[in-house]
């Protein structure tokens, strides 16, 4: 049964102004903003010299609409300027309408003049805004609900009638992936659902329920390993994601029966949550099998990642591996071949070399990208990005794996308790230390994570708010590259590599159990953060990625190729585990080991003026070289 709407507070934002319109010259209006202006937007008031105090009131207020049907649903709005005296003036044709979700890349409809039209494949609660002269704004809520039945591949229109049989607890199918309680960005729209039926079951009902959505998808079995997989199409994904965006997670369950009906099995409920904001920008990662740096740009790259750097265009023998991206996305530093025989720093947009160095293979850019820390695995040198000229050599005499905080105030790195004599891209017996920037000089080191027993601590990374350090720990003290001989030449990771977090200001470290697989060695490695702090249900939310050899549902088994995983991080959980269950990053290659996902808020691309201006495999679109999607 479809649940009723959640009704919010009155959608009225009161803004009081006491300004003389004479200050605006002739009374003309610059009605800028995201959305559509009313029919006569831009016209001035009849008396442009009159002063006003008041609020904008939208009608209808807190509207609820049903978008279950096939026909578009529209809502015409009227906006009144209400003075303190109670006098009302119709200003509908003078305001700019918009949807609050436009600010974070997720809307549920469009405006034409003062009329809102629902997209049809999105539900949930949004805020409608009307803005007058940029300084006066009114808001009201709009809630969209739907009850839908969708028949997908392997089922026919009679599918719903096959689920009238008695429930059979012994016939319960199993949901395998995604994990219960996972949170994903609303535009991460290539998530698969994996499930295992009982004998004789070939018809399935996947039901999703939230306060805004009652959705039943009927589907057959697309065989995958010992079970089945279902990939939501765009319509289904948009319905699910919009119904759970920034509210309580969506509950879902699987019911199963035979092709002819009969007894019905039902899985236990699971839940999937959706962040408020879409993930934008791009991600760069190391494809170890091909020895390449891959790139994926949301909204551009299509279903799979593109090759950004390869041995051919980077000038290496067989591998472009360890890499670091400046936060503004302008520069990339890469290690060439293994174990880091050389390195190059390039401009991302043109792939042109800025400088090259021998040996260094681990890097960290300053927040403004003007400076870079380079490490050969033995010490860390502070340099200018444009020339590689040392500012201080070394800034850390015994240290490697540097990461610079987003506020520019701290540098964290790994340091072995044994002397670091020979430069290498890996470490054993690691502690984590922090130095602070005071003016133009760095402070003495402070131990952030001491080594206890035989453990090894490595790959530290600052959170985008500079408040946390994510890192790896091997309880057994294995070399960080996973080579039992400590040669550091194998990129498969450490079998007992674990994900840990520690406050950047110091304090006890905590294992991220929710993002891990309890009781298993899954080679978790190379943790990195997405570079922005988002919000979720009124609290802060961050995202991090890591590589792992855990099973991806029914597609891969434990111990198969290393893959990229992503998880949400709730920094306001206090003493509790701040991580949430992880999900497989959709756009990568299953056939190769993938590592070091580095996120940027904007992908820099080569400018172009027309055909022939871009590299092979790219095309010129709107003045930028983008992948040629086939």
What is the spatial distance between Cα 201 and Cα 228, in angstroms, rounded to a whole number?
Answer: 11
Position 176 pLDDT exceeds 90: yes
**268 in the same domain as 296:** no
* Average pLDDT value for residue range 235-249: 94
What is the CATH classification number for the domain harbouring 102? Answer: 2.60.40
Of 231-235, 428-432, 514-518, 597-601, which gets the smallest average pLDDT? Answer: 597-601
| Among 99-113, 301-315, 384-398, 416-430, the range of highest mean pLDDT | 384-398
pLDDT recorded at residue 533 = 95
pLDDT recorded at residue 35 = 53
Band the pLDDT of 10: cuts 50, 70, 90. Answer: very low
pLDDT recorded at residue 622 = 86
Residue 176 lies in a domain: yes
* Average pLDDT value for residue range 142-154: 97
Q: What does the block give as tokens for 529?
A: 């953060």
CB 172 within 8 A of CB 198: yes
What is the spatial distance between Cα 448 and Cα 236, in angstroms, rounded to a whole number?
Answer: 46
Residue 291 lies in a domain: yes
CB 453 within 8 A of CB 480: no
Mean pLDDT of the chain: 87
User: Which residues on neighbouring strands pair with residue 150, listed in sequence order?
Assistant: 217
Of 240-244, 374-378, 530-534, 610-614, which gets the smallest average pLDDT? Answer: 610-614
pLDDT recorded at residue 36 = 59
Position 327 pLDDT exceeds 70: yes
Lookup result for tokens 């891969």: 556
Position 23 pLDDT exceeds 90: no
Q: Could you give the number of structural domains in the chain?
A: 3
**294 in the same domain as 216:** no
526 closest CA partner among 377, 351, 321: 321
pLDDT recorded at residue 183 = 97
Q: What does the block give as tokens for 483?
A: 């080579």
Q: What does the block give as tokens for 440?
A: 């133009």
pLDDT recorded at residue 34 = 42
Position 412 pLDDT exceeds 80: yes
Of 252-261, 345-354, 487-496, which gets the smallest average pLDDT? Answer: 487-496
Residue 6 lies in a domain: no
- Write down the pTM of the prediction: 0.88
CB 568 within 8 A of CB 541: yes
What is the spatial distance between Cα 78 and Cα 58, in angstroms, rounded to a whole number?
Answer: 6
pLDDT recorded at residue 619 = 87
**200 in the same domain as 124:** no
**324 in the same domain as 216:** no
Residue 350 lies in a domain: yes
* Count of CB atoms situated within 10 Å of the CB of 174: 15
* Average pLDDT value for residue range 533-562: 94
Residue 436 lies in a domain: yes
Considering 239, 254, 274, which residue would you say is the last residue of a domain?
274
Q: How many CA atoms lie within 13 A of 460 on its CB side?
A: 33
Which pLDDT tens digit goes with each residue over 298-320?
A: 866 556 888 888 888 877 656 67
Lookup result for tokens 């506020």: 407
**501 in the same domain as 435:** yes
What is the spatial distance between Cα 478 and Cα 471, in angstroms, rounded to a whole number?
Answer: 15
**427 in the same domain as 521:** yes
Residue 90 Cα distances to 47, 58, 62, 127, 498, angstroms = 14, 10, 19, 21, 62
**482 in the same domain as 337:** yes
**66 in the same domain as 212:** no
Residue 11 lies in a domain: no
CB 432 within 8 A of CB 506: no
| Of residues 491 and 76, more confidently modeled | 76
**261 in the same domain as 319:** no
Considering 274, 308, 332, which residue would you say is the last residue of a domain?
274
| Of residues 303 and 497, more confidently modeled | 497
pLDDT recorded at residue 574 = 80
Question: For residue 386, what are the contacts with CB-CB under 8 A and spacing of at least 6?
Answer: 354, 370
What is the CATH classification number for the domain harbouring 570? Answer: 2.120.10.30
Residue 4 lies in a domain: no
What is the spatial distance between Cα 616 and Cα 22, in angstroms, rounded to a whole number?
Answer: 59
Position 105 pLDDT exceeds 80: no
What is the CATH classification number for the domain harbouring 240? Answer: 2.60.40.10
| Of residues 190 and 451, more confidently modeled | 451
**569 in the same domain as 452:** yes
* Average pLDDT value for residue range 432-439: 97
**450 in the same domain as 320:** yes
User: Which residue range is the domain that position 132 belongs to?
Assistant: 19-143
CB 524 within 8 A of CB 472: yes
DSSP letters spanning 260-295: T--SBEEPPPEEEEE-SS---SEEEEEETTTTEEEE
| Of residues 8 and 357, more confidently modeled | 357
Question: For residue 226, what are the contacts with CB-CB under 8 A and spacing of at least 6?
Answer: 196, 554
**542 in the same domain as 615:** yes
74 closest CA partner among 103, 40, 42, 36: 36
What is the spatial distance between Cα 171 and Cα 407, in angstroms, rounded to a whole number?
Answer: 55
* Count of CB atoms situated within 10 Å of the CB of 630: 5
Bond from prior residue into 183 cis (ω within 30 degrees of 0): no
pLDDT recorded at residue 416 = 92
452 closest CA partner among 427, 432, 471: 432
Band the pLDDT of 44: cuts 50, 70, 90. Answer: very low
* Average pLDDT value for residue range 314-338: 80
Band the pLDDT of 335: cuts 50, 70, 90. Answer: confident
Position 43 pLDDT exceeds 50: no
Residue 377 lies in a domain: yes
Considering 240, 274, 308, which residue would you say is the last residue of a domain?
274
């Amino acid at each position: 049964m479809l649940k009723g709407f959640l009704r919010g507070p009155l959608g009225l934002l009161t803004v009081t102004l006491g300004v003389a319109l004479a200050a605006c010259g002739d009374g003309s209006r610059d009605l800028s903003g995201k959305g559509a202006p009313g029919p006569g937007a831009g016209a001035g008031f009849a008396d442009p010299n009159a002063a006003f105090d008041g609020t904008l009131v939208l009608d209808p207020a807190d509207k609820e609409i049903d978008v279950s049907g096939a026909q578009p649903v529209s809502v015409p709005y009227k906006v009144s300027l209400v003075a303190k005296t109670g006098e009302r003036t119709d200003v509908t044709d003078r305001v700019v309408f918009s949807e609050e979700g436009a600010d974070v890349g997720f809307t549920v409809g469009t405006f034409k003049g003062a009329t809102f039209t629902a997209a049809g494949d999105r539900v949930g609660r949004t805020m409608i805004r009307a803005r007058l002269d940029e300084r006066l704004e009114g808001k009201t809520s709009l809630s969209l609900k739907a009850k839908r039945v969708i028949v997908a591949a392997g089922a026919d229109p009679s599918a719903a009638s096959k689920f009238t049989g008695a429930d059979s607890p012994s016939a319960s199918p199993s949901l395998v992936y995604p994990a219960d309680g996972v949170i994903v960005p609303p535009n991460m729209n290539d998530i698969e659902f994996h499930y295992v039926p009982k004998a004789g079951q070939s018809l399935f009902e996947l039901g999703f329920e939230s306060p805004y959505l009652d959705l039943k998808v009927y589907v057959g079995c697309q065989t995958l390993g010992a079970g089945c997989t279902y990939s939501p199409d765009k319509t289904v994904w948009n319905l699910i994601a919009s119904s759970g965006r920034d509210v309580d997670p969506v509950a879902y369950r699987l019911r199963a029966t035979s092709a002819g009906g009969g007894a019905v099995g039902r899985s236990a409920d699971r839940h999937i949550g959706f962040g408020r904001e879409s993930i934008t920008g791009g991600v760069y990662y190391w494809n170890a099998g091909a020895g390449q740096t891959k790139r994926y740009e949301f909204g551009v790259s299509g279903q799979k990642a593109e090759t950004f750097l390869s041995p051919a265009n980077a000038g290496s023998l067989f591998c472009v591996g360890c890499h670091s991206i400046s936060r503004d996305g302008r520069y990339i530093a890469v290690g060439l071949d293994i174990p880091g025989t050389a390195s190059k720093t390039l401009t991302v947009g043109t792939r042109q070399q800025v400088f090259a160095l021998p040996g260094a293979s681990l890097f960290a850019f300053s927040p403004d990208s003007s400076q870079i820390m380079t490490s050969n695995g033995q010490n860390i040198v502070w340099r200018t990005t444009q020339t590689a000229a040392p500012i201080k050599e070394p800034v850390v005499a015994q240290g490697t794996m540097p990461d610079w905080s987003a506020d520019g105030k701290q540098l964290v790195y790994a340091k072995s308790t044994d002397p670091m004599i020979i430069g290498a891209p890996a470490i054993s017996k690691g502690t984590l230390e922090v130095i602070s920037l005071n003016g133009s000089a760095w402070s003495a080191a402070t131990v952030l994570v001491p080594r206890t027993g035989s453990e090894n601590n490595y790959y530290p990374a600052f959170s985008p708010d500079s408040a946390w350090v994510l890192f790896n720990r091997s309880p057994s003290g294995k070399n960080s590259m996973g080579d039992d001989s400590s040669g550091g030449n194998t990129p498969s990771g450490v079998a007992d590599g674990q994900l840990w977090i520690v406050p950047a200001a110091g304090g006890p470290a905590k294992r991220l159990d929710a993002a891990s697989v309890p009781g298993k060695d899954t080679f978790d490695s190379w943790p990195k953060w997405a570079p922005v702090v988002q919000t979720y249900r009124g609290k802060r939310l961050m995202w991090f990625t890591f590589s792992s050899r855990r099973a991806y549902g029914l597609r891969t088994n434990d111990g198969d190729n290393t893959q990229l995983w992503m998880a949400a991080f709730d920094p306001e959980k206090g003493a509790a585990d701040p991580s949430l269950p992880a999900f497989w990053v959709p756009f990568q290659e299953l056939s190769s080991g993938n590592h070091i996902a580095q996120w940027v808020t904007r992908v820099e691309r080569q400018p172009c003026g027309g055909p022939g201006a871009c590299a092979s495999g790219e095309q010129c679109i709107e003045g930028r070289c983008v992948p040629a999607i086939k």
